A and B are shown apart, each in its own frame.
Chain A
Amino acid sequence: MDRNKIGKWLKSPGKMGQKYSLHALYFCTGCGIIEIPPTITARWDAERFGVIPVATPRQANLFLITGYVSVKTLRYIIRSYEQMPEPKFTVGFGSCPINGGMYWDSYNTIKHLDKYIPIDGWIAGCMPRPEAVFIAVTHLWTLIDKGMANGYKKYRDNYQYYRKNQEQVLGKLEWPPLFSIKN
C-alpha cells in the first residue's frame, strides 16, 4: 500500500473504499460498447484502476452509458440505474448522451441524458478511446475525494422532477416510484 495515502485511509476509509472498487455495469448501449471489451481485457486492463465489469445492476456502482440513447433504451437505463445500490456513479460516454451528437435532430434519440438520470461526468468524443475511460476514472476519483460525485444524492433530492421528466417522454411508467414523491 502507498504510505502517502495512509492519512487519507484513516481520515475517510469509506471514500477510499469507494474510489478503488468501481464495479462497472456491463450495459451495452449504442456503438460505444465496442470500446469496452479492449478496455477491460488484457490490452488496456481496466483492473489496474480497480474497474471491473459485473453482470447485474445490483452488484454495480459505476454506470457507463456508452453511446446514443433511444427512447426504448432510456426505459431500461432508468430501471437499471434504480436497481443499483448507493453510492452509484454515472459517466456519459461519447458525445451522443451529452446533447444528441450526430443524432441531434433524430425523432427517436434522447438528446440530453442528464434530464432523466443524474450524470457525474462526461467523456466527450466520437468515440472516446480506452485511455479516455481511464482519465474519466481518475477524474471520478478526484470527485469522490472532494465529495462532488453526488449524483445519487441529487437523484434522491430531486426525484419528483426526474420522474416527471421520465413520464413526459416515456408515458406512464410501469414501475412504482423509487423514493416517495413529496409536493
Chain B
Amino acid sequence: MNNTGISLKEILLSSFDDIQAEVTDEQRLTVNCKKDSVVTVLSSLKNRGYNHLALISCLDWIKDNKLELIYILTSYTEESEKGKLNILVKTKIAREKAELHTVTSIFENAEPYERELHELYGIHFTGHPRLIPLFLEREYKIPPFRKDFDTKKYVEDVFDQVPFIKDKKGKK
C-alpha cells in the first residue's frame, strides 16, 4: 500500500464531510463526491500539488439512470516525494438534463474534454467559455455515446438510405 495515498485520503476526509475516499490500488486513490463539491475538491487537490488533469471520462449507468464523470489527476512536480499517484475524482449526475459546473476555471485544459463530453454524452457544462461541437458534423437526437443510442438503427436510417450509383450507359 502506498503511504502517500493513505495520508492524502486522511487529509481529504478530514477537510470534506460529504465525500468517500478509498485507496483502491497501489497507485490509485478513488474519491467519490457529490455534484456540487467537485470544484472545491479539485481545487484543493490542485493546491496540494496534483496540478495535471490527465482526462475527464464519462460512464453511462443506464440501469441506475445516472452518468458518472471521472476526473483523473496526476502530478509532475511532486512526483519524487509522493510517488506516482493517480487520483480518480468520481461524481454521479442525472441522465435527464445532465448539467454540471465547468472546471475550466481551475484546469484550463479541461475545455476540449468538456466540449467532447458535451457532444458525445449531452452534458451541459454551465460557465464553459465556448461549448461548440468538437468532432461531429451531424446532429444526433440522442448523443451517440449514450447507451440508448442504437447505432445499427442509425446506420440503417442514415447511411443505408443513400442509394448506389447506377451507370446509365452500363459497363463499357
Interface positions of A (Cβ within 8 A of B)? 71-72, 75, 104-108, 110-112, 114-116, 118, 147-148, 150, 154, 157-158, 161-162, 165, 168-171
> Which residue of B is nearest A161, CB measured?
B165
Instruction: Determine the chain A residues whose CB is within 8 A of the CB of B152 once the complex forms.
Output: 105
The interface residues of chain A lying within 8 Å CB-to-CB of B137 are 71-72, 75, 170-171
In the bound complex, CA of A71 to CA of B144 (Å): 14
A169 in contact with B158 (CB, 8 Å): yes
Give the distance to chain A from B146, nearest Cβ to Cβ, in Å. Answer: 11
Tell me whether B165 and A115 are in contact (CB under 8 A): yes
Chain B, range 120-172, C-beta contacts under 8 Å to A: 135-138, 140, 144, 149, 151-152, 154-155, 158-169, 172
Q: Are B168 and A157 in contact (CB under 8 A)?
A: yes
Is the CB–CB distance between A112 and B138 below 8 Å? no
Q: How large is the interface on B (under 10, 10 to 19, 20 to 34, 35 or more residues)?
A: 20 to 34
Residues in chain B within 8 A of chain A (CB atoms) = 135-138, 140, 144, 149, 151-152, 154-155, 158-169, 172
The answer to whether A108 and B160 touch across the interface, beta carbons within 8 angstroms, is no
* Contact present for A169 and B162 (CB under 8 Å): yes
C-alpha spacing A167/B165, complex, angstroms: 14
CA distance A170 to B155 in the complex (A): 15
Contact call A107/B163, Cβ cutoff below 8 A? no
Which of B152, B155, B165, B172 has the most CB atoms of chain A within a 10 A radius of its CB? B165
